[in-house]
Chains A and B, each alone.
Chain A
Amino acid sequence: MSEEIVFDCLHAEIVNYCLDNRKDQNDLATLEYIGFTTGYRLNERLTRDVTRFKDELETMKFICTDFWTLIYKKQVDNLRTNNNGMYVLQDRAFRFLTRISPGAKQLEQAPKFVAFTCGLVRGALSNLGINSTVTAEVQTIPACRFHVEVNRS
């Protein structure tokens, strides 16, 4: 699909913008927040005609299949959970990392490209009533693992 490249460019520019004005290059909060608001609003529209999910696991499955397919053109490769609010979503070829060459030097840059998605997932879950913390872990480019921790209170 042709629009993909547009989004890829926009994403790259957003990453640039968010880090340009910060003294601390590791401050990814803004980037994450932009993802959060996007995810929140997007899911509002995506789930409009979907039947109510019966539990948390089903909600996570929606994120891994439908949500992921629409945005990243593939499903999450692997979903694990400890059945106690911790989920690990593994994507072996994460879209924003596929164009980066693998290597230790590039690995340092990886957090920039996954922060937006962390926010996206958090926002999407938040709109479905799940309050969570989402972090990402990149060990080898382009594979990426997202850890979702549901905050219960």
Chain B
Amino acid sequence: MSRQATRLDAKKVNSEFLTLTYGALVTQMLRDFENVDDVNKQLERIGYNMGMRLIEDFLARTSAPRCLEMRETADRIQQAFRIYLSVQPTISNWSAASDEFSLLFDSNPLTEFVELPTDLSNLRYSAILSGCIRGALEMVQLEVQCWFVQDQLKGDNVTELRVKFVRRLEEAIPAGED
């Protein structure tokens, strides 16, 4: 088997492969569910499940210590995006209480080759990202809310993902111990 060695850029192809696979999944969901909201929910859930696993990989890879405040958490999330999707979101729009911030994406690898038909304006195509963040943070005892404020697929200039700290999850005390 000797064709000349691969001329294709492996890294690029990898991300295209991910993009296309994700696209095929979304398409399939739209076929399976009549309601776009259900698709959003499913995507979010899938992201949540992935986040729960990815955080393990992330912690093992970076050996990051525990975050003591949201600013550190924001940096870690940014780092995670760099590692896993090779994009660098900008962190901005901190709320006065420092419990809420935005991640700004100039480009979103998941939405490459994607255009939303007009009748799907309710679809949150990248809902998997917010699910991922929520799932991953829950594994480090942080409950957050995560939603899209702007989306390039809907004509905005940037994709903006808002993250809001809700509360710190307490370790449950094992039964029988005080």
Q: Which residues of A contact B (CB under 8 A)?
A: 1-7, 9-11, 13-14, 16-18, 21, 30, 33-35, 37-38, 41-42, 45-46, 49, 61-62, 64-66, 69-71, 75, 79
Q: How far is the CA of A71 from the CA of B16 in the complex (A)?
A: 11
Q: Which residues of B contact A (CB under 8 A)?
A: 1, 3, 6-8, 10-11, 13-18, 20-25, 27-29, 32, 42, 46, 49-50, 53-54, 57, 61, 83-86, 113
Residues in chain A near residue B21, CB distance under 8 A:
7, 10-11, 14, 34, 38
Q: How far is the CA of A6 from the CA of B84 in the complex (A)?
A: 7
Whether the pair A64, B22 counts as a contact (CB closer than 8 A) is no
From B1, B32, B53, contact of A21 by CB (8 A)? B32
Chief secondary structure at chain A's binding surface: helix
- B88 CB → nearest A CB, Å: 14
Whether the pair B14, A33 counts as a contact (CB closer than 8 A) is no
Q: How far is the CA of A18 from the CA of B29 in the complex (A)?
A: 9
Whether the pair B8, A70 counts as a contact (CB closer than 8 A) is yes
From A11, A37, A62, A70, contact of B13 by CB (8 A)? A70
8 tightest A-B contacts by CB? A9-B50, A37-B24, A34-B24, A13-B46, A38-B24, A70-B13, A38-B21, A38-B20
